[in-house]
Amino acid sequence: MSISKESELLGMQKASEAVAYTLKEMRTYAQPGMSTKELDEYGAKILSDLGAKSAPYLTYGFPGYTCISVDNEFCHGIPSDRRILKEGDLINIDVSAELDGFWADNGGSFVLGDDIHQHQKLVDASKAILQKAISHIRGGVKIADIGHLMETEAKKRGFKVIKNLGGHGIGRGLHEEPGELMNYKNRFDLRRFKKNSVVAIETFISTTSTYATELSDGWTMVGNKGGYMAQHEHTIVVTDGQPIILTEMNGILN
């Protein structure tokens, strides 16, 4: 989507604030001993109270309202009564929704309670890489150059990037052009970011894997070589200068 009038920006801001607030509240609500299903239902109620509809449920018939991935699950984890959160778990919550015809997306990985399994370094790397990537995005910048920056920063910190997951355009639908905003440099990708376009920028930083593979449930993705992954995501508007971070309220980079 390209923002062409004030009403579109306001619509995107409202949808983005709904997903950002939901993500922030879910992160605060998460406790050891809680099931991922209970956490998902808490998020679903917040979205509903705000008049927003779950994007994965609406678009793909996803069996949950938000994606909650724990430990070795990289993304698209299905909320379950059987998955009980534990102290030190690496958790990723991804919240996307539609509100009044506008769609927004955000997500973040965090360690639940004490970092007894030493996941915080990975989480911090993902946050720092997203922050740096966003600060370099403006109209005219090559999409592949941002991917290059992400992979370079990951390697610097001793991590890898997942090569078959990426960010995407968003606005009037959950996934729009430009698609495949990857975390590495694709030298054949000559596209550039366009001023006023709305994109969901996300990191996929991992310890050992470079590809995500789908489990037999048809949704949950794990690493081709195991290990762990951290993801952080903001919906932004590209400008001539620093992007407008529409989902900033989620506090994922704090």
168 is in an annotated binding site: yes
- How far is residue 158 from each of residues 70, 125, 154, 203, 207, measured CA to CA in Å? 22, 9, 6, 15, 8
Q: Which residues contact 186 (CB under 8 A, 6 or more apart)?
A: 144, 147
Q: How far apart are CA 96 and CA 115, in angstroms?
A: 27
89 is in an annotated binding site: no
Helical segments of 50-116, H only: 55-60
Write out the E strands in 100-227: 102-111, 160-161, 166-169, 176-182, 198-202, 205-206, 212-214, 221-223
175 is in an annotated binding site: yes
Of 98, 35, 95, 24, nearest in space to 65 by CA: 95
Of 217, 250, 171, nearest in space to 64 by CA: 217
DSSP 237: E
Q: How far apart are CA 178 and CA 246, in angstroms?
A: 18
8 is in an annotated binding site: no
233 is in an annotated binding site: yes
- The label of the residue with tokens 């992979």 reads 151
| Residue positions forming the annotated binding site | 76, 94, 105, 168, 175, 202, 233
| Residue positions forming the annotated binding site for substrate | 76, 175
| Residue positions forming the annotated binding site for a divalent metal cation | 94, 105, 168, 202, 233
